[in-house]
Amino acid sequence: MNTKPKYAKFIDNSTIEIAPLKKDGIVGFCYNKELCLKDGYDKLLILSEQKSDYYIYKVEGNLIIQEPDLARILEKELVKAHKKAIEDYKEKQVLSEVQALDDAKALDNMSVFPLWKVGISVDVGDKYQYITGTEVRLYKAVQAHTTQTDWAPDSTPALWTRIGYENEILEWIQPSGSHDAYNLGDKVMFNGNVYESLVDANVYSPATYPQGWKLIE
């Protein structure tokens, strides 16, 4: 790129015209002081080294100095920030509404829930999608916490519980307390069989506490 200063002239207070590179068969016309001055290009243009979408031009003697138009650049950034703030606000409003859905409706609208990731703060009841292998599942937080790598929903029942579809029987998972214990009538898959809990607050497996479970099939 040729950075040699070119000659230019003002068309009005905010517009300049740069002398053409070639004119009347003369290549390099815009660099020829004598020819440019005769043609009205009476200022030497000093281009800014800073790239910008907007420039202003200042006259200093016989120079036109190009500088970034900081006011217009700031205005553009503010407009951009405003649009993003509106989008973020709308997203928060939507998430607030969908997080209030009951489990059945949440499953019917699972794709609107955010994907679980590391480093986010979750509250009790917050629902997130989580990918296990090639399957996408919906989990609900049972304790408020900040997510981390070794606290994935499918391996941390103390923090998460999977939301199952109506009549779907999920695998038995060791409860971590009363908040995720199995209650009377709850059904689970255990070692390939279906069991139904015979008691409330059941935190034991069918193998450990067989009198607390009934083999269904």
The tens digit of pLDDT for each residue in 128-141 reads 999 988 889 999 99
Q: 3-49, pLDDT tens digit by residue?
A: 678 888 888 766 788 889 888 888 888 888 899 999 999 888 888 87
- What confidence tens digit (pLDDT) does each residue in 143-185 have? 999 999 999 999 898 899 899 887 888 888 888 777 788 999 9
pLDDT (tens digit, 9 = 90+) per residue, 83-115? 999 999 998 898 889 999 998 899 999 999 999
Indicate whether 143 and 125 sit together in one domain: yes
State the CATH number of the domain containing residue 201: 2.10.10.90
| Contact in structure between 156 and 122 (CB atoms under 8 Å) | no
For residues 110 and 196, state if they share a domain: yes
Shared domain for 123 and 211, answered yes or no, is yes
Pair (210, 146) in one structural domain: yes
Identify whether residues 118 and 182 lie together within a single domain: yes
| Model confidence, pTM | 0.55
User: What distance in Å separates the CA atoms of residue 74 and residue 55, rounded to the nearest whole number?
Assistant: 12
Within this chain, do residues 201 and 112 fall inside the same structural domain, yes or no? yes
Q: Are residues 110 and 10 in the same domain?
A: no
**Owning domain of residue 208:** 103-215
Reduce the DSSP state of residue 7 to 3 states and report it: strand
| Residue 110 and residue 206 share a domain | yes
Q: Residue 186 pLDDT more than 80? A: yes
59 and 74: one domain?
A: no
Give the total number of structural domains in the chain: 3
Q: Indicate if 42 and 129 belong to the same structural domain.
A: no
Q: Where are the beta strands (DSSP E) in 40-82?
A: 43-46, 55-60, 63-68
